[in-house]
Amino acid sequence: MIKVKKHPNGTYQFRVSLGFDPVTGKRIQKRMSGFKTKAEAENAYAKLILDNSEGAYNPNSSMTFEKFTKEFFVPWYKNQVKESTFENRQHTINKHFAYFYNVSLSDITPLILQRWQLNATEKYSSQYVRGIQGLLSLAFDRAIVLGLMKENPSKIIGNVKKVKAEINFWTKEEFEAVISKIYLGDYFQHFQFIIIWLLFMTGMRIGEASALQWDDIDFEEGTLNISKTLYYKNASNYRFTDPKTKASIRVIALDSDTLSLLRDWKEAQQKQCKTNFILSYNGIPTQKYTVSHSIKRFAKAANIHRIKIHGLRHSHASLLISMGENPLVIKDRLGHEDIQTTLGTYGHLYPNSNFQVADRLSNIIQLKTSDDTQIEHYSSNQFMQTKFQSVP
């Protein structure tokens, strides 16, 4: 007997027993309400019973998303990625997964997820929302593997449209204006100068630069060996880790100015502290805040727009492009996995390349034609002649 009841507001509701939870032994009950007619409530009741009989409704899917996230997803995800990656994304999980915490896994529908997506795009950039939804989708996939969800609502609605982020960098002239405000006679400013200069002139990632040891530089050959990155949590907790990709392991040829400046910095540094870290003024490897503060401080002094740390990497790529450097060379210096990454990121910085090609093509061919015909003369159109000849 279907127990459908009419609510005082005129809608219909029901509560159904779906057996017992195999883990806790407690009875599983599901309540549904808000139906406009009794027939709608009865149809929903019948469908729920049918799904349960076919094994589509897992009793544990009544688990809240909060319980699943904290007890199942986070412990699993922590073992799937590098520690630094997990710590960077843990804040995102804590902040944005909370939207669904009070909802049971079985009730997270495409409609609910799309409502979150629309709200998120009003507050954050498309790139940031795409990252959040990517993590949510990974969590839903894990729930499906564990038999707690039937389908992934994220894959049904799709992610937000990818919008190419604007690349913010310094031009050669802007960089020159910034470093003109740095006084090398001050030890700490000398340290800040080396950070900014080295990142601008090599295009290294900050983790790669922070891990650099003096042993990584061959002053005779003029090369810099990148084979590791630095995981930095605090002044007493840091260690070397593997680079981002295999392509990140590379050798960068250094220009004569950079080699000379590094020699000067090593001499100044060793008078203050004994350390093998290149980017250190006190024996401890530098942290992102110090780099970011240095950029902000001297950009303001030079009245130049502030860029992020990664903007120095973009600046190096922009400098090479302005010099007409081959994209393959840029790919190797930056440590990209493939040329598509390089062109996809920096291809738009070649705004006039098409016209430059046209300019180079001008007068490249010796234009000389015959003074008279060199082939057999036809008295009529070749097409017409062929047509008439084909008539039997």
Question: Can you give the CATH number for the domain in which 345 is found?
Answer: 1.10.443.10
Average pLDDT of the chain is: 86
Based on the fold, state whether residues 189 and 286 are members of the same structural domain: yes
Asked if the structure places residue 364 within a domain, the reply is no
Asked if the structure places residue 313 within a domain, the reply is yes
Asked if the structure places residue 288 within a domain, the reply is yes
Residue 35's closest CA among 55, 9, 12, 68?
A: 12
Based on the fold, state whether residues 278 and 325 are members of the same structural domain: yes
Distances (CA, A) of 302 to 176, 182, 281, 297, 299: 9, 10, 24, 9, 5
Alpha carbon 278 to its chain centroid, in Å, reads 28
Based on the fold, state whether residues 79 and 15 are members of the same structural domain: no
CA distance 189 to 184: 6
The SS3 of residue 81 is coil
CA distance 262 to 235: 24
Which amino acid does the sequence have at 350?
Y
Last residue of a domain, one of 20, 40, 57: 57
Domain count, the chain: 3
For 163, the token pair is 């919008």
Give CA angle at 98 (27, 107), nearest 5°: 40
Asked if the structure places residue 359 within a domain, the reply is no
Chain segment 253-289, per-residue pLDDT in tens: 999 999 999 999 999 999 999 999 999 999 999 989 9
Based on the fold, state whether residues 35 and 101 are members of the same structural domain: no
What one-character DSSP code corresponds to residue 160? P
Asked if the structure places residue 22 within a domain, the reply is yes
Based on the fold, state whether residues 11 and 94 are members of the same structural domain: no
Chain segment 224-245, per-residue pLDDT in tens: 999 999 888 887 888 888 887 8
Q: Is 3 exposed, middle or buried (0-12, 13-18, 19+ CB in 10 A)?
A: exposed
The SS3 of residue 126 is helix
Residue 209 in contact with residue 231, Cβ under 8 Å? no
pLDDT at residue 388 in the model: 47
Based on the fold, state whether residues 203 and 345 are members of the same structural domain: yes
The SS3 of residue 104 is strand
Asked if the structure places residue 363 within a domain, the reply is no
CB-based contacts of 131: which residues, under 8 Å, 6+ apart? 92
Helix (H) or strand (E) holding 141: helix 126-145
Residue 367 in contact with residue 356, Cβ under 8 Å? no
Alpha carbon 282 to its chain centroid, in Å, reads 32
pLDDT at residue 178 in the model: 96
For 296, the token pair is 């902000």
CA distance 333 to 366: 39
Range of the domain at 19: 4-57
CA distance 303 to 67: 50
Based on the fold, state whether residues 295 and 246 are members of the same structural domain: yes
Based on the fold, state whether residues 199 and 317 are members of the same structural domain: yes
| Cα atoms in the 13 Å half-sphere on the side-chain side of 201 | 19
Based on the fold, state whether residues 195 and 325 are members of the same structural domain: yes
Based on the fold, state whether residues 252 and 289 are members of the same structural domain: yes
Q: In terms of residues, how long is the chain?
A: 392
Asked if the structure places residue 386 within a domain, the reply is no
Residue 12 in contact with residue 38, Cβ under 8 Å? yes
Asked if the structure places residue 362 within a domain, the reply is no
Chain segment 128-173, per-residue pLDDT in tens: 999 999 999 999 999 999 888 889 999 999 998 887 777 889 999 9
pLDDT tops 50 at residue 54 = no
pTM: 0.66
Based on the fold, state whether residues 178 and 327 are members of the same structural domain: yes
Angle between the N-to-C axes of helices 83-96 and 126-145, in degrees from 0 to 180, rounded to the nearest 10: 100
The SS3 of residue 68 is helix
Chain segment 206-221, per-residue pLDDT in tens: 999 999 999 999 999 9
Last residue of a domain, one of 97, 126, 157: 157
Based on the fold, state whether residues 44 and 94 are members of the same structural domain: no
Last residue of a domain, one of 111, 134, 157: 157
